[in-house]
Structure 1
């Protein structure tokens, strides 16, 4: 029997389950992809605690995932937790409870490892070129920024400036006022100096956004043209520069109710898409980047690639 593997990405906003097996024409065949909007960081992200409601949503999601793992007869499971769990005082308690209820062992990974997996996932989507790109992964708790090409990584770093953290600090009035945008940009100036210096040393040709908010940007871009957007048929999407700026500006200036009425924004992103837009616009402006590309591949596909590669090596 083919060795089926499962990857669980316990993000700050969303838990993802990806079940796959080695593929014939590509490195994997997806059997199931489920996402649960857990919002683990809700109400406590900057206080370093998982609040009771979020805690229970997380436990429920892991129990649901375990049922799928049994149903699909998965032989190997890798569950990885990122920023919210790294910084939560009750993170270990959550891990212990999940282990007791489901048998799934969650590993907390450091930001550096997270960035490495994201690079591997993005590389697997074949959107990297010979010249360097700036890979951007905007999570709820952290943002990973990686400079790399189709051969190797030049620079990688994880910053604890994710969308949930920035929203709690700066987006308390809706629409977000110009003064809050200025404060947010000053906060990014303060935190992102190492990355800005790295780009100064290693020029980049474009910005590649890894899944998450960038999938929403792509869907909105296509809907603006009157088309439906099917992510499975658009694993890599290149934006028109003006279309991209038009979409992000519209989101930044919008109210909660206006975003709620926009088809193409999933519920968990209705509010966080504003700071995700601001982070992206900050990077484009600061680094004078003109081209933006979305890839649907991210951490979970990077983990999957390493698991399936290891299977191949074990057979040699």
Structure 2
């Protein structure tokens, strides 16, 4: 369960969450019943969620149930029992709806409008074909990390390959993935690579690294897997089967990497009917700090000063720095860099977020060459320092004209 604060422009921030691993679909085949033991465990989880909801001011509750409820013969009965406890309707969504929500959550939080978007769950894999920001087609496949957890690697690969062959998709220029196991794999790679930003939203995970993990993780026992950085005890149960599924998926679509999304189906349910972009998410930083967004003029003015493909990112750095200046930070440029380093910046890939952060750092005169080398851009330290100077001058000029 996640509690969000939703702002007037449709953006949001997470203000609380609670997670309990029920694994209601463990070992479940189509037509089976969800065992009374699993139902009781789910009911206890919903009682905890209800107590939390009773203690906070929530205007709207949305609850969706996925593959286990679709497969089970008693899925509707269990849905009614849980709805009664939480005093809100639990809605069972189709595989196509699940895939569409996952794709929408990605579209609204990453600047990628074309490609193959997938969400890997415990009982199913949803794949959406996306073109020009439109969800063209959704494929729902009955393969998931929990469902295949006890199978040997070779059998997992065959099942995944067989199912993927039914999609009619042969190649994807961009592959974007979401889901708990996808994020766990990215966290593992991020921590091993010593990347300076903690967030994995928009992180590029190479096919080479995915193949390495798909070879290594199935050979480790659960205790060894949970000792790895970024892998929790609960996630260690399925990360090995998930890595093989993801590896097979990337190979099938001949991708060289996947872009990892921190957001997916839940955020798709949350933002249904909305179309959010980079500017929306820059405004969200203002709303999160309880201030109105700065005037757009400073953004336009900075863009006019930078005649390059980086003008938007320079302007973004200026806007973020101004927000932190308005909030009251003595050094808004340093605050901007720390925010990028420690937080999530939806609407931007991780590479773009790092670029924005380094321009803020450059405005403070502290950017390092080794930081610039981490960027997947043909840009020099000198250029970033010049962009930082533009940001600093724009903020100084604004402050001189307006009392903050």
- Fold match (TM-score > 0.5): yes
What CA distance in whole angstroms lies between the structure 2 residues aligned with 1:146 and 1:25? 26
Q: Residue 306 of structure 1: CA displacement?
A: 1.5
Partner of 2:158: 186
CA distance in structure 2 between the aligned counterparts of 1:241 and 1:308, rounded to whole angstroms: 32
How far residue 122 of structure 1 moved from its aligned partner, in angstroms, is: 0.7
Instruction: For structure 2, list consecutive stretches of 5 or more residues without a partner in the other structure.
Output: 276-404
Q: Write the distance in 2 (CA, Å) between the matches of 1:43 and 1:241.
A: 29
Are positions 1:208 and 2:192 aligned together? no
Do the aligned residues in 1 keep the contact of 2:172 with 2:254 (CA within 8 Å)? no
Match for residue 136 of structure 2 among 154, 157, 160: 154
> Which residue of structure 1 lines up, in the alignment, with residue 82 of structure 2?
98
Unaligned runs of 5+ in 1: 1-16, 171-179, 310-316
**Number of aligned residue pairs:** 275
Matches within 5 A, 1:1-316: 17-23=1-7, 27-45=11-29, 48-129=32-113, 132-168=114-150, 170=151, 180-195=152-167, 197=168, 199-200=169-170, 203-226=171-194, 230=198, 233-306=199-272
Offset at 1:290?
0.3
Could you tell me whether the CA contact under 8 Å between 2:65 and 2:91 is conserved in 1?
Answer: yes
- SS at 1:213's partner residue? helix
Calculate the TM-score normalised by the size of structure 1: 0.79
Distance 1:307 1:69, change over 3 A: farther
Aligned-residue offset at 1:24: 5.9
Deviation, 1:43, is 4.2
Distance 1:188 1:241, change over 3 A: closer
Q: Is the 8 A contact 2:64 2:91 kept in 1?
A: yes
Structure-2 residue corresponding to 1:3: none
- The RMSD of aligned alpha carbons is 2.3
- More relative contact order in 1 or in 2 (CA 8 Å, sep 6+)? 1
* CA pair 205-61 structure 1, distance change in 2 beyond 3 A: same
Assess if the C-alpha contact under 8 Å between 1:142 and 1:160 holds in 2. Answer: yes
**Separation in 1 of the partners of 2:76 and 2:201?**
35
Of Structure 1 and Structure 2, the greater strand share is in 1
CA shift digits 1:61-101 (9 cap, x unpaired): 11111222222221211111000011112222222222333
Shift of 1:269: 1.9
1:240 and 1:101, CA in 2 relative to 1: closer, same or farther beyond 3 A?
A: closer
